[in-house]
């Protein structure tokens, strides 16, 4: 079983709609959760971090964490064509800065 | 967010030569940096954790004698690919941690002919 799992997609969403990206993890010792955006040919860019159960909002982005169910999600409201990218979920366990990445979900926003 | 730079952004070399890639944290000090490799259409693969003033910790399957890592200061880590071969062609990306968040450099695209 993979430690961090994401649906590889591609996920196609109309412009202006909400894009929902999901991630599950297997290690219950996971304490920190991150979403990165990676454009083709570029390096990952941190867009959200979340450490506690519940929702965390930053602009059009909302991260949701449910440790009991071991999943973390990212919602993108009012999706724009510039949101088209691969979104990587990453987790780390307590006391360890090393990240474990999922394989990423490719998101396409359709104008 | 914190800024991490890499140099060079791309390099083409002949098989058998060595290539050095620099990773710098520009506006913060990083006791720990990480080196990743990414092949086309694949996810990031952690190669090693670079610790300032001590030896790097390599992931399983990564040859430490081939991928030499030096973390000479709190703002600089270098990765040297020794005796590079075409199969080493890849996108090499470093990252640095600050306040429990990892920030990535722009990456170095290595092509070995």
Question: What pLDDT sits at residue B53?
Answer: 82
Which residues does chain A have within 8 Å of residue B97's beta carbon, measured at their own beta carbons?
97
pLDDT, tens digit (0-9, with 9 covering 90-100), for A48-76: 999 999 999 999 999 999 999 999 999 99
Portion 79-98 of B in contact with A at CB < 8 A: 93, 97
CA–CA gap between residue B96 and residue A11 (Å, rounded): 30
Q: At residue A2, does pLDDT exceed 70?
A: no
Closest residue in chain A to residue B32, using alpha carbons only: A97
Q: At residue A81, does pLDDT exceed 70?
A: yes
Neighbours of B10 (CB within 10 A): 10
| Residue stretches of chain B with pLDDT short of 70 | 1
Q: At residue A1, does pLDDT exceed 70?
A: no
How sure is the predictor about A95, in pLDDT bands with cuts at 50, 70 and 90? confident
CA–CA gap between residue B16 and residue A9 (Å, rounded): 39
CA–CA gap between residue B94 and residue A31 (Å, rounded): 23
Q: Which of B26, B104, B79 is nearest to A90 (CA)?
A: B104
Closest residue in chain A to residue B35, using alpha carbons only: A98
């Amino acid at each position: 079983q993979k430690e961090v799992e994401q649906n590889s997609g591609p996920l196609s969403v109309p412009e202006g709609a909400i894009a929902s990206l999901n991630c599950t993890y297997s290690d219950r010792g996971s304490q920190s959760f991150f979403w990165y955006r990676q454009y083709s040919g570029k390096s990952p860019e941190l867009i959200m971090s979340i450490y506690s159960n519940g929702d965390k909002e930053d602009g059009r982005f909302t991260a949701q964490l449910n440790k009991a169910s071991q999943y973390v999600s990212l919602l993108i409201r009012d999706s724009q064509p510039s949101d088209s990218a691969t979104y990587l979920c990453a987790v780390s366990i307590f006391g360890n800065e090393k990240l474990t990445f999922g394989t990423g979900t490719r998101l396409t926003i359709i104008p | 967010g914190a800024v991490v730079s890499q140099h060079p952004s791309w390099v083409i070399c002949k098989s058998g030569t060595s290539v050095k890639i620099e990773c710098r944290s520009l506006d913060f000090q990083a006791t720990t940096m990480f080196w990743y490799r990414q092949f086309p259409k694949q996810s990031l693969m952690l190669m090693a954790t670079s610790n300032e003033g001590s030896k790097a910790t390599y992931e399983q399957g990564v040859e430490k004698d081939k991928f030499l890592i030096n973390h000479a200061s709190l703002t600089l880590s270098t990765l040297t690919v020794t005796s590079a071969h075409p199969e080493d062609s890849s996108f090499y990306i470093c990252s640095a941690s600050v306040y429990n968040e990892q920030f990535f450099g722009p990456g170095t695209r290595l092509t070995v002919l």
